[in-house]
Structure 1
Amino acid sequence: MRKMVLFLWAIVLVFLITIIQNNLSIETASYGWGSRGNTVIEIQKRLKNWGYYTGNVDGIYGYKTYIAVKNFQTKNGLYPDGIVGPKTLAALGISEYSAQRGYSGSQNYELLSRLISGEARGEPYIGQVAVGGVVLNRTRDPRFPSTIPGVIYQPGAFTAVSDGQINLSPTDSARKASSDALNGWDPSGGALYYYNPAKTTNKWIWSRPIIKIIGDHYFCK
């Protein structure tokens, strides 16, 4: 009986160690020559959208991906070793957790389109793209969640989520604005916040340094 109990405990211990190792690999994984999978696909998609990568989005980390990563790292002040570690993933705006779980680019596009539609319907087109830019800027800032869904659904972050407009079908212009934002256009100038001064009563947001005014929205740090 005692041997059976010890055997069962050994199985449980191995199981727990496996879970811990898997979680650690998600947190600290790096990607380089020969890597494959969903995260590599996401890396290639973003680099291709921003003009660094010219190969196929096939999830295989080869020479073209390596060169594209090095160029991206050089442009963004990262050590150009061609390896996508935590810092490069963060600069790309990729959450390791969501990439491993396969949260697709099309889902991000659709969610961002609905957010832009709910938050900036009726604003100038450039202002709609700027709202998308704010969402993406937050994914790259350590003070915010590192995924588009995480940023958008952060409690109290966006009125469109609070009032349910996030669930409505987006306008055509919002879809186009979402695509432009995901492809790297940021008319907000790197803003992390925006507000309509005619509607907000939040004293804190009024204290933020204003970067740009587009339509009825003030974009700020």
Structure 2
Amino acid sequence: MKLSRKTLVAVSCLSAAVLLAACGHSPQECMERVMYFESNRSSRDGMIAVGTVVMNRVESPQFPDTVCGVVGQRGQFAPGVMKRRMNPKSMPLVRESAISVLQGERHPLVGSATFFHTAGHRFPYDNMHYVLVTGGNAFYEKRPNYLVTQPLPPEPVEGLTGWHGG
């Protein structure tokens, strides 16, 4: 059976998608992009916390099961997260942080949280159990309201993760 060029390209892209988790993006690039745009490069702690949320989502049956699937999920992260240009000057810390999370580092206070929003924003929901504020974001778990023991964001914490680069 002879396959058309178009079919071969489609099969190649699908095969690459399995290997790269999204056609054209590696898990590392996807993690770098979400850290870059969601933490605003504000702190290593903030980037590691964002990465921890991404990995928590990968492990959750409620979200896609790849890093790029989670980061590219419509309406979940900063608009254009997969397409916008990143400033190369910010990349050493972003890259190191992304690699560290992909190798297993997690922010020690994020726990099983799968959500965050910009610190300082308030929402009227009663199911947000806050676990951390760092890097300009407030991280939280969604829980039944009777299990929420931290309904307000705690004071910001920085310096719990350290730069591992050279």
Range of TM-score over shorter length: 0.5 to 0.7
Pair 122,112 (structure 1): closer, same or farther in 2 beyond 3 Å: closer
- Return the match for 1:145 from 64, 70, 77: 64
Q: What is aligned with 1:211?
A: 131
Letter of the 1:178 counterpart: A
SS at match of 1:209: strand
Quick check: 1:118–1:166 contact (8 Å CA) kept in 2? no
Q: What is aligned with 1:102?
A: 19
Coordinate RMSD, CA, aligned: 2.7
**Alignment partners' CA distance in 1, 2:119 and 2:139:** 11
**Alignment partners' CA distance in 2, 1:147 and 1:98:** 15
**Alignment partners' CA distance in 1, 2:73 and 2:135:** 25
Q: What is aligned with 1:189?
A: 111
Letter of the 2:119 counterpart: P
Q: What is aligned with 1:169?
A: 86
Query: Unaligned stretches of 5+ in structure 2?
Result: 1-13, 142-166
Q: Counting helix residues as a fraction of each chain, which structure ranks higher?
A: 1
TM (norm. structure 1) is: 0.48
**Alignment partners' CA distance in 2, 1:140 and 1:99:** 22
Report the alpha carbon displacement of residue 155 of structure 1 after superposing the two structures with TM: 1.4
Cα displacement string for residues 141-166 of structure 1 (whole angstroms, at most 9, x for unaligned residues): 0111111111111111002xx1x244
Letter of the 2:20 counterpart: Y
Cα displacement string for residues 54-98 of structure 1 (whole angstroms, at most 9, x for unaligned residues): xxxxxxxxxxxxxxxxxxxxxxxxxxxxxxxxxxxxxxxxxxx98
Letter of the 2:116 counterpart: Y
Pair 99,121 (structure 1): closer, same or farther in 2 beyond 3 Å: same
Does 2:45 align with 1:126? yes
Report the alpha carbon displacement of residue 130 of structure 1 after superposing the two structures with TM: 1.0
Letter of the 1:197 counterpart: A
Pair 175,147 (structure 1): closer, same or farther in 2 beyond 3 Å: same
Quick check: 1:121–1:174 contact (8 Å CA) kept in 2? no
Quick check: 1:116–1:178 contact (8 Å CA) kept in 2? yes
Q: Counting strand residues as a fraction of each chain, which structure ranks higher?
A: 2
**Alignment partners' CA distance in 2, 1:134 and 1:150:** 13
Report the alpha carbon displacement of residue 111 of structure 1 after superposing the two structures with TM: 1.4
TM (norm. structure 2) is: 0.62
Report the alpha carbon displacement of residue 99 of structure 1 after superposing the two structures with TM: 8.8
Q: What is aligned with 2:30?
A: 111
Larger relative contact order, structure 1 or 2 (CA cutoff 8 Å, min sep 6): 2
Pair 113,98 (structure 1): closer, same or farther in 2 beyond 3 Å: farther
Letter of the 1:103 counterpart: L
